[in-house]
């Protein structure tokens, strides 16, 4: 069960994305997957390269579109464990509509967002996760836009699994990804993954000073959605751990009529051609 391949990542030394790659590989092995059982689908950005660094099926898609591709893969072959991945610019700007609708659809895939609060691949512009006042080449006098709060957004969109990790806490991150893979529905895992080259504000030290672990909050209950929202607001979203999980809500697959039949990827195509021709004939 080795999810490593021979491709050497070309991330900057110290980039938080290295840990996310390692965490996905460990989590996949821990839940008993083989490389041929996993598909990693990514978008565009430094983080988007991750699909090429993991020994599994993979697809490096276009900007903001990892989720439509990942959902298509899952619907065509439910036997695959599907992980979509990308950065905060990819998922919370151009891909935001896909993020929201994937959440409310609750299709059984895991979405891991490497959140570094900046556009790294294009050399340092303000992203949807940058705070007000954040100075970059695109906002030399400081950003005047409010940052997106993905965890709160996910809760209001009806998410059934919401979690947040930090690149340096590999143990917690592996556990969260394992739980996300096992969750029967859409799991969103936002990972604080520092960009050491362009973001000199939200550094490893900054996160260590500002993050609170939910496991340190007495009585925190991830089954309580109201408590999850209140805790996020109290800590300005800077918490790590399993924020919320609803194990009762059915996944998209469970609700789709006829989904219990053979996966499309394994269907008898000659039989399907006959059905397709019949269907087309009805519309003629
Ligand atoms: Fe990572 Fe930033 Fe370098 Fe991109 S530019 S590889 S996000 S450290």
Q: What is the mean pLDDT of residues 269-279?
A: 75
Residue 269's pLDDT is 66
Residue 236's pLDDT is 97
Work out how many domains the chain is built from and give that number: 1
CA distance 62 to 41: 10
Q: What is the mean pLDDT of residues 231-254?
A: 96
Asked if residue 91 belongs to a domain, the reply is: yes
Asked if residue 283 belongs to a domain, the reply is: no
pLDDT more than 90, % of the chain? 88
Q: Which of 13, 16, 17, 114 to mutate to test the pocket of ligand 1 (most atoms within 8 A of CB)?
A: 17
Q: Which residues of 23-33 are buried (b: 16+ CB within 10 A; e: fewer)?
A: bbbbbbbebeb
ipTM tops 0.90? yes
Which residue has its alpha carbon closest to ligand 1 atom 6? 11
CA of 79 to the centre of ligand 1 (A): 33
Instruction: Indicate the pLDDT class of residue 260, thresholds 50, 70 and 90.
Output: low
What DSSP line would sit under 13-25, residue for residue?
A: TT-THHHHHHHHH
Asked if residue 172 belongs to a domain, the reply is: yes
Q: Which of 12, 18, 200 to mutate to test the pocket of ligand 1 (most atoms within 8 A of CB)?
A: 12
pLDDT more than 70, % of the chain? 97
Tens of pLDDT, residues 203-226: 999 999 999 999 999 999 999 999
Residue 267's pLDDT is 73
What DSSP line would sit under 30-43, residue for residue?
A: HTT--GGGEEEEE-
Residues within 6 Å of ligand 1 by CB: 11-12, 15, 17, 46, 116, 120-121, 195-198
Residues 6+ apart with CB under 8 A from 97: none
Asked if residue 262 belongs to a domain, the reply is: no
Please, are residues 217 and 228 in contact by the beta-carbon 8 Å criterion? no
Q: Which domain holds residue 235?
A: 17-257
Asked if residue 127 belongs to a domain, the reply is: yes
Tens of pLDDT, residues 176-201: 999 999 999 999 999 999 999 999 99
CA distance 23 to 172: 9
Tens of pLDDT, residues 86-116: 999 999 999 999 999 999 999 999 999 999 9
Average pLDDT across the chain, whole number: 95
Q: Is the confidence at residue 125, as pLDDT, over 90? A: yes
Asked if residue 263 belongs to a domain, the reply is: no
Q: Which of 113, 116, 192 to mutate to test the pocket of ligand 1 (most atoms within 8 A of CB)?
A: 116
Asked if residue 279 belongs to a domain, the reply is: no
Asked if residue 208 belongs to a domain, the reply is: yes
What is the CATH classification number for the domain harbouring 191? Answer: 3.40.50.970
* Ligand 1 atom nearest to 199, measured from its CA: 2
Instruction: Indicate the pLDDT class of residue 25, thresholds 50, 70 and 90.
Output: very high
């Amino acid at each position: 069960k080795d999810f490593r391949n021979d491709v050497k990542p070309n991330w900057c030394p110290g980039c938080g994305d290295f840990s996310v790659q390692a965490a996905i590989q460990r989590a996949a092995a821990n839940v008993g997957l083989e490389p041929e059982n996993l598909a990693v689908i990514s978008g565009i950005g430094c983080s988007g390269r991750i699909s090429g660094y993991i020994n599994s099926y993979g697809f490096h898609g276009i900007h903001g579109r990892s989720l439509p591709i990942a959902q298509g893969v899952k619907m065509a072959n439910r036997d695959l464990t599907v992980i979509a991945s990308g950065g905060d610019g990819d998922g919370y700007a151009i891909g935001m509509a896909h993020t929201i609708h994937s959440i409310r659809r609750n299709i059984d895939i895991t979405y891991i967002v490497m959140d570094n609060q900046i556009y790294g691949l294009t050399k340092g512009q303000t992203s949807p996760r940058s705070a007000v006042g954040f100075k970059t080449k695109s906002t030399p006098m400081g950003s005047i836009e409010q940052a997106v709060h993905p965890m709160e957004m996910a809760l209001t969109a009806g998410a059934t699994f919401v979690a947040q990790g930090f690149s340096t806490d590999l143990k917690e991150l592996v556990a969260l990804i394992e739980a996300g893979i096992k969750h029967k529905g859409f799991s969103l895992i936002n990972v604080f993954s520092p960009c050491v080259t362009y973001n000199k504000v939200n550094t490893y030290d900054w996160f260590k000073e500002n993050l609170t672990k939910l496991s340190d909050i007495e009585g925190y209950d991830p089954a309580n959605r109201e408590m999850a929202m209140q805790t996020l607001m109290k800590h300005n979203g800077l918490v790590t751990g399993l924020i919320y999980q609803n194990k009762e809500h059915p996944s998209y697959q469970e609700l789709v009529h006829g989904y219990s039949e053979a996966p499309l990827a394994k269907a008898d195509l000659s039989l399907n051609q006959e059905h397709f021709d019949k269907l087309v004939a009805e519309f003629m």
